[in-house]
Amino acid sequence: MFPLTEENKHVAQLLLSTGTCPRCIFRFCGVDFHAPYKLPYKELLNELQKFLETEKDELILEVMNPPPKKIRLQELEDSIDNLSQNGEGRISVSQDGSIASKNSNLNVCNVCLGILQEFCEKDFVKKVCQKVEASGFEFTSLVFSVSFPPQLSVREHAAWLLVKQEMGKQSLSLGRDDIVQLKEAYKWITHPLFSEELGVPIDGKSVFTRMAVMKALNKIKEEDFLKQFPCPPNSPKAVCTVLEIECAHGAVFVAGRYNKYSRNLPQTPWIIDGERKLESSVEELISDHLLAVFKAESFNFSSSGREDVDVRTLGNGRPFAIELVNPHRVHFTSQEIKELQQKINNSSNKIQVRDLQLVTREAIGHMKEGEEEKTKTYSALIWTDKAIQKKDIEFLNDIKDLKIDQKTPLRVLHRRPLAVRARVIHSMETQYVDEHHFRLRLKTQAGTYIKEFVHGDFGRTKPNIGSLMNVTADILELDVESVDVDWPPALDD
């Protein structure tokens, strides 16, 4: 059934006579169901012709025969597709319904600039799909985003004022919200075509326009607008051009736990004043392999806390996650992930990775929670200036849930705000080594600065091991023995 009614006839005739395409006529007549927009363009023109041919006045209609247009997809490195169309065409419908063709070419709509004509055709959809398929991405769904020319909003505003004025003569009204948005109509037409061509579902919330122009149009007075822009809008001589077709994949996330066995390896690249201090890092030893296998453009590394360059991470390791930006390959079997983990472990004796797996963006939140809320266990080798006996350190074993205040350490003050942080030392266990050394095993609140708790940081951490023992103490070695975050899930070897 044709979607227009007798009430729409005058508006349809007015718009068509000024150079508006059938689909835009539907939009201004408030046709808000999908089926009519999906009809082939030639069929739409024929149906509109039948609907209007009973009018006594001569109408100007577009011809769809299919036009001698040339769509050319350039295979260039900049991924720019140029589409060209030549000429204009009109046909006259006389009182008896006969058609006299003046030109065989398609008129470009004065409202949508051919968006609902040229770029809704299967040929154009196939060209875009060829670009997608040639990009080499693996995907199971598609988000289709279109940036329309800003002037479309201005042209639509002009057409709305024209129709609003004419409907006012009939004591009818037309609000801006009564018009079906161009992006919605385009979505209704093209999404099924893209989905059929690519064999994947299309995201329904994927077309966007220039909101700044819309905001300006909402503020301008009608009389001021009409002084600056023709109403109805002029008919363009050519269809708008596709400037660029870009393909990109949503980020994927890989998580795991790492052990660091070197005391000369930073977690992330160590660069001071533009100069690199060490040749590698934990981040790079892991991410370089992931970038290559996932064919990603870049990455973002995060972890549950961090250790200093001279601190080892032992036990079950430290949880980490890596965001891989714009990956071309995303489908991996569990066996392939295991092989990737083994490849990372075989590449260096400084680190080892375990529980490597694909995760969601949302799941990474579990790791970040552990940075402040969970506990961590450390083992430290401590030196004292005064000679000590075993009995001098045994009292530390009895201290439970010791509350300390830590002013931002001097060594990190250049990158952390100055503040006093309250932390808890849950338990301590000592092991005597000799009269100037002992080992201290600590279980602490996450975020505790262990080195400063030992030497005091010139009194910035209170109390500290030095003040508790009434000695000058320093830390010689530090190991992270456990990070008590139950994420990511442990995997079988």
> Which residues are the active-site residues?
308
Q: Is 107 left (phi over 0), alpha (psi -120 to 50) or beta?
A: beta
Burial of residue 27, with CB atoms counted within 10 A of its CB: 0-12 exposed, 13-18 middle, 19 or more buried: buried
Distance of alpha carbon 493 from alpha carbon 144, whole angstroms: 40
**DSSP strand E in 213-341: where?**
252-260, 271-272, 275-276, 298-303, 312-325
Q: How many helices (H) and strands (E) does the chain have?
A: 14, 17
* Chain centre distance of CA 173: 41
Return the beta strands (E) in 9-133 as ranges.
Answer: 59-61, 70-72, 82-84, 91-93, 99-101
CA 143/CA 203 separation, integer angstroms: 5
Could you give the C-alpha distances from 368 to 298, 328, 449, 491, in angstroms and in order?
A: 21, 27, 18, 20
Q: How far apart are CA 484 and CA 373, in angstroms?
A: 10
Residue 198 tokens read as 């690519």
Alpha-carbon distance of 211 to 71, in angstroms, equals 30
The H-assigned helical ranges of 315-449 are 334-347, 364-373
Give the pair of three-digit tokens for residue 92.
């006259």
Q: Half-sphere exposure (CA, 13 Å, Cβ side) for 420?
A: 7
The rounded distance, in Å, linking the Cα atoms of 224 and 106 is: 33
β-strands 375-384, 437-445 pairing: antiparallel
- Taking the alpha carbons of 218, 223, 227, 230 in that order, is the dihedral positive or negative? positive
Distances from the Cα of 351 to the Cα of 88, 271, 345, angstroms: 68, 20, 7
Kindly state the tokens that stand for 237: 């001589």
